[in-house]
Structures are given as structure tokens and as C-alpha cells.
Amino acid sequence: DAGVIQSPRHEVTEMGQEVTLRCKPISGHDYLFWYRQTMMRGLELLIYFNNNVPIDDSGMPEDRFSAKMPNASFSTLKIQPSEPRDSAVYFCASSLKGAFNQPQHFGDGTRLSIL
């Protein structure tokens, strides 16, 4: 079975540029999560969706960050404009619908470097 697929795996871009990260969750999973991982702050939940609807975006650091889920098989996380402090590994994860106690399944992440 295909797992959670993220693209690109690596992104290097200059400060001020727009960055778009993409995620395809596991088919049939109704929850989708975006995380950021850094050495300083560890793993942080940015936003999550249920049935394509954003449920909690309180972890999104600033208005420069936005996330969408136009359909059940695709989500994007956008940073505009990007800044060096946004450099991190961004993970997408998905889980089965409505079932408390279900584990999340992670993609391999996008390593983002903002110069």
C-alpha cells in the first residue's frame, strides 16, 4: 500500500520566495496533519484537517503560512514570503477517520532550506 507521499523531498530557495509543499494522504484517511520539526523546537503541529476542512490552525506560526486541502487526496502548505527561520523539515501525516486512538502515518518529509 502507498504511504503518505510528500513532495518535494528537498527544497532550497532564497528568502522572499514563495514555497509550496505538497502532500497526498493515504487513501481512505480523513484526517491530515502538517508538522514542522526543528532541532530547537522539536515536532510542532501546524494545522490539521478533517474531511478536507481545517479544524485547528492555532499552530501556524504567522500569516505567511497557509494550508489548503481542496480534495481528499491532496493538501498544500504554502509559505509566502519565506524567511530563513522557516528552514525546517515539514511532515505531513494522515489517520483514519473519526477513530480515537488511531495512529498517524507520516510521510518522509520535505527538508526546506531558506537562504
Partner 1 sequence: GDSVTQMEGPVTLSEEAFLTINCTYTATGYPSLFWYVQYPGEGLQLLLKATKADDKGSNKGFEATYRKETTSFHLEKGSVQVSDSAVYFCALPWGNNRLAFGKGNQVVVIP
Q: Does 79 bind partner 1 (CB under 8 A)?
A: no
In which residue are the cell numbers 526543528 written?
38
Nearest to 31 by CA among 108, 107, 99: 99
Q: Does 57 bind partner 1 (CB under 8 A)?
A: no
In which residue are the cell numbers 523546537 written?
41
Asked if residue 47 lies in contact with residue 54, where contact means CB atoms within 8 angstroms, the answer is yes
| Minimum separation from the CB atom of position 31 to partner 1 (A) | 5
Q: Does 55 bind partner 1 (CB under 8 A)?
A: yes
Residue ranges in contact with partner 1 by CB under 8 A: 4, 31, 33, 42-43, 45, 48, 50, 55-56, 91, 93, 95, 98-109
